């Protein structure tokens, strides 16, 4: 690595804020323009990349550490749904000129905390200037025992449909950030906003998903749209009992104040929960494994022969939606 006097401004930025995150020997201390990784024996690599953009996925005033956490966690969520454990990540960061050391320090602290929490070190990346908003792109890699990655395709008629955690909190939190008010208690308000700011990826559930699920995906663009993608990939139909979909107390309170909000709960993005299908013979074992992981799961429906997912109200009526999921386009 060049001496301190020979370092460019970018080199100094990398050395100060990001070199401490590159703890794996294959990262070479970020002193090279590439890194290396030897996959665990008899494992497949699982690759994933997602970007978050200021003004689209987070607000300009959001704390830098939460921006970093969100960028990492949306990728970790996809690994969890594949049944994979994280190995590391690459980071590309595009910064406007007005972003200084204070923001970068908070961003690096957020990355450092989650890289330790999820055993996911930095291997390298790139930093650039941009005339546009802050853009954070992460490429993540994980591992599963050979041939065991859980795909969207694989659901079969008779499989039980499960979701992790609670649905709709993040999209309601976003609506509150934009001025919506359901006269919730302060604790409920904080819960919804925090779920939008900082996803809770279900990596603790990954092994249970890998060993039990026939198909799975993370819910990033809304339960209705994402689960419909799983059904299309698997070539199956499904019935989902909407009253069984797990909601937090805060989401229930919002829906009670505005019944129409249930549409946003089911179709809004940023849940980062897992929806998966489990064969009947494995359903009880999956519940037990989920309890052991500390992640709540709820059975919400069943896979059928045919095409298309139907979301049924308590009276058996099939619900229709103005849009089925969040879309950038």
Cα–Cα distance list, 16 to 11, 158, 266 (Å): 9, 54, 43
For the chain, give me the number of helices (H) and strands (E)?
10, 10
What separation in angstroms does the CA of 70 have from each of 18, 177, 179, 277?
17, 16, 22, 26
Tokens (6 digits) for 35: 């890194």
- Per-residue pLDDT at 329: 46
In which band, very low, low, confident or very high, does the pLDDT at 269 lie, cut at 50, 70 and 90? confident
Residue 125 has pLDDT above 70, yes or no: yes
Entry pTM: 0.92
* Domains of the chain, start order: 4-145 (3.30.1330.10), 160-312 (3.90.650.10)
pLDDT value at position 326? 61
Structure tokens at 172: 């309601």
Say if residue 205's pLDDT is above 50. Answer: yes
The length of the chain in residues reads 329
Over the stretch 44-88, which tens digit does the pLDDT of each residue have?
Answer: 999 999 999 998 899 989 999 999 999 999 999 999 999 999 999
pLDDT the model gives residue 328: 53
**Structure confidence at residue 327 (pLDDT):** 58
Task: Give percent of the chain with pLDDT exceeding 90.
Answer: 84
Task: Measure Cα distances from 128 to 4, 95, 97, 132 in Å.
Answer: 21, 6, 10, 11
pLDDT digits (tens, 9 = 90+) for 284-313: 999 999 999 999 999 999 999 999 999 999
Q: How far apart are the first and last CA of the chain?
A: 43
Cα–Cα dist 90/110, whole Å: 15
Calculate the alpha carbon distances from 308 to 29, 118, 201, 230, 231 in Å.
Answer: 49, 35, 27, 10, 6
The pLDDT-based confidence of 325 (bands split at 50, 70, 90) is low
What distance in Å separates the CA atoms of residue 246 and residue 139, rounded to the nearest whole number? 31
Q: Which two tokens stand for residue 92?
A: 């590309």
Average pLDDT, the chain: 93
Q: Can you tell me the distance from the alpha carbon of 58 to that of 44, in angstroms, rounded to the nearest whole number?
A: 33
Answer with the residue of higher pLDDT: 20 or 255: 255
In this structure, are residues 123 and 88 in contact, taking their beta carbons and an 8 Å threshold?
yes
30, 32, 39, 278 from 26: Cα distances, Å: 9, 10, 11, 37
């Amino acid at each position: 690595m060049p001496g301190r006097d020979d370092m460019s401004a970018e080199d100094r930025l990398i050395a100060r804020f990001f070199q401490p995150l590159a703890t794996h020997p294959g990262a070479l201390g970020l002193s090279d323009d590439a890194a290396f990784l030897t996959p665990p024996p008899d494992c497949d690599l699982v690759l994933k990349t997602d970007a978050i953009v200021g003004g689209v996925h987070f607000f300009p005033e959001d704390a830098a550490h939460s921006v970093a956490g969100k960028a990492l966690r949306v990728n970790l969520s996809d690994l969890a749904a594949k049944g994979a454990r994280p190995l590391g990540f690459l980071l590309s960061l595009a910064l406007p000129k007005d972003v200084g050391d204070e923001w970068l320090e908070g961003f690096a602290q957020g990355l450092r905390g989650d890289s330790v929490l999820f055993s996911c070190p930095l291997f390298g990346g790139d930093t650039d200037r941009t005339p546009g908003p802050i853009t954070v792109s992460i490429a993540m890699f994980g591992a599963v025992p050979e041939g065991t990655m859980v795909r969207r395709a694989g659901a079969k008629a008779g499989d039980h449909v499960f979701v992790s955690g609670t649905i709709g909190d993040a999209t309601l939190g976003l609506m509150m950030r934009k001025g919506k008010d359901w006269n919730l208690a302060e604790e409920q308000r904080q819960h919804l906003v925090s779920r939008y700011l900082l996803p809770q990826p279900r990596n603790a559930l990954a092994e249970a998903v890998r060993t039990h699920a026939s198909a799975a995906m993370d819910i990033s663009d809304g339960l209705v749209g994402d689960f419909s993608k799983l059904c299309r990939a698997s070539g199956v139909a499904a019935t989902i009992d909407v009253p069984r979909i797990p909601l937090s107390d805060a989401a229930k309170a919002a829906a009670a104040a505005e019944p129409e909000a249930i549409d946003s709960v089911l179709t809004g993005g940023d849940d980062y929960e897992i929806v998966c299908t489990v064969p009947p013979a494995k359903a009880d074992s999956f519940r037990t494994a989920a309890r052991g992981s500390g992640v709540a799961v709820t059975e919400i429906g069943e896979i059928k022969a045919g095409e298309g997912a139907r979301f049924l109200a308590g009276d058996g009526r099939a619900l229709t939606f103005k849009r089925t999921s969040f879309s950038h386009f």
